[in-house]
């Protein structure tokens, strides 16, 4: 009878793979509890760290949806508001609403079409904020495709508008506002992003690429401005009821702008579902869980 020869490597290899499995499961459990704590338990940084009540917040894309809600909620917290968007009548209506609800809050408005990328518009914005203590910048202005379309069939104007608004508009506004924050050694630069920048999105290729650009830019900017006391946060979102998403009804997992902005402002400095991504947060609970699962 032939004696069985045991493989001397069998037990060590088995132990190695068992150890790797245990380590992986342990890390996932720890990561999950970090997620739960970030989304549901731990508070974010108080906005008072970035500026006192009576200082100013600049909100782009302020006339509708998420931008409008940022303006309203920041006004409710005592910040004066600079409203920047395309339609003058909507800005004036929102300014009146803010001043009627919060009588001590001041507003300034600037109607500008970011798709035009006009030097005169940005000079007007620079002049508008030059004498203000701006403690918060909300980079919310953005544009998506009118409808899903293959890249090679996307109209040239749509390509240009998406890149000009989402990228150049955000960069130029930040270059105007951030130097004052650096000088005062405090401030918050919050930029709205999208899952389209995390997951390459066919039929929305240009929009997806523009949001991926903002992810990388915001992470780099965060490293540059942190030594100067300025916090940079990219806020990731999935579906929210808005004109851009074309979703009209909120659900258990799809928030309306009010719910989303409350989460975003309440979780400054918390990663939510964006674990391991510098200067990034996915603050709304359903979006955060989805982002974590994708990671």
CA-to-CA dists, residue 96 to 78, 82, 100, 105, angstroms: 16, 13, 6, 11
Q: What number of CA atoms fall less than 13 Å from residue 258's CA on the CB side?
A: 4
What is the C-alpha radius of gyration for the chain, rounded to an integer number of angstroms?
23
Q: Which two tokens stand for residue 31?
A: 């990561």
211 tagged catalytic: yes
Q: Compute the distance between CA of residue 88 and CA of residue 95 in angstroms, rounded to an integer.
A: 10
Query: To the nearest 10°, the Cα dihedral for 283, 285, 286, 288?
Result: 50
Q: What's the rounded Cα separation, in Å, for the pair 270 and 204?
A: 29
Euclidean distance between CA atoms 85 and 60, whole angstroms? 6
Q: What are phi and psi of 84, to 5 degrees?
A: -130, 125
Q: Is 60 helix (H, G, I), strand (E, B) or coil?
A: strand
CA dist 5 and 273 (Å) reads 50
Q: Among 68, 70, 102, 207, which one carries the catalytic annotation?
A: 207
Q: Which two tokens stand for residue 260?
A: 């989303």
The residue from 211, 267, 279, 284 that is catalytic is 211
The encoded tokens of residue 210 equal 């523009």
Residues in the chain: 295
**Residues taking part in catalysis:** 207, 211
């Amino acid at each position: 009878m032939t004696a069985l020869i045991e493989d001397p490597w069998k037990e060590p290899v088995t132990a190695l793979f068992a150890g790797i499995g245990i380590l992986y499961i342990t890390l996932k459990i720890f990561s999950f509890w970090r997620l739960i704590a970030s989304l549901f338990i731990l508070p974010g940084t108080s906005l008072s760290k970035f500026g006192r009540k009576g200082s100013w917040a600049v909100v782009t894309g302020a006339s509708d949806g998420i931008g409008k809600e940022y303006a309203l909620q920041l006004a409710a917290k005592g910040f004066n508001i600079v409203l920047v968007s395309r339609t003058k009548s909507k800005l004036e209506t929102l300014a009146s609403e803010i001043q009627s609800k919060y009588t001590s809050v001041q507003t300034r408005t600037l109607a500008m079409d970011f798709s035009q990328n006009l030097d005169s518009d940005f000079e007007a914005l620079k002049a508008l904020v030059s004498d203000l203590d701006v403690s918060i910048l909300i980079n919310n202005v953005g544009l998506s495709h009118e409808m899903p379309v293959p890249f090679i069939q996307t109209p040239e104007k749509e390509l240009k508008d998406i890149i000009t608004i989402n990228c150049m508009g955000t960069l130029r506004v930040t270059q105007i506002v951030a130097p004052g924050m650096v000088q005062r050694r405090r401030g918050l630069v919050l930029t709205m992003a999208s899952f389209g920048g995390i997951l390459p999105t066919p039929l929305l290729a240009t929009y997806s690429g523009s949001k991926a650009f903002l992810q990388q830019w915001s992470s780099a900017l965060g490293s540059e401005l942190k030594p100067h006391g300025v916090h940079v946060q990219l806020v990731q979102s999935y579906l929210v009821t808005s004109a851009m998403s074309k979703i009209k009804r909120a659900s258990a997992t799809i928030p309306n702008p009010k719910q989303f902005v409350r989460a975003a402002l309440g979780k400054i400095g918390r990663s939510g579902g964006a674990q391991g991504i510098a200067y990034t947060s996915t603050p709304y609970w359903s979006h955060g869980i989805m982002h974590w699962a994708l990671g």
